[in-house]
Amino acid sequence: MTDPVPFAAAFVDGPEGQRFRLPVRIYYEDTDAGGIVYHANYLRYAERARSEMLRAMGYGQAALRDEHGVAFAVRGCTIDYIAPARLDDLLWVETRLLSVGGATIEAEQCVEREGTLLVRLHIRLACLGKGLRPARLPKTLHQALQALVHPTSAIFLVTLLAS
């Protein structure tokens, strides 16, 4: 018997501040013929985790679009593939905010299996408004996101960009 899919997406505290954790089960559709997760699917898992994090904060993507006239686009992404995930694995996607600007968000997302790091993503998001032009984050969302940024994140970000 295998463990059921947990529905325990939640914010958790850690030494680097708050992170959002989302469980992801690997199905046949996620894998190649050898049962290994196709590399592009990690981008999907990361997107789901960011969307669920916003939803948990009370900011669904549709509401942001309809009520505030904004949406997010990935401006840049760096991915380190460390180890493969396989069919039936239960993965956790952790999202940690590194910085929040007026119209940008930087985040680190890690995909883990039983505490083992499989994939690390560094994501730069742009907030877009009417005509898909850069737009400022809604004030209440900016404040809520900023509260999740740990003070040491700026040091991590400078080190990452310098490497």
> Does 3 qualify as catalytic in the annotation?
no
- Is there a contact between 67 and 2 (Cβ–Cβ < 8 Å)? no
Active-site residue among 13, 30, 32, 80?
Answer: 32
Q: Which residues are catalytic?
A: 32
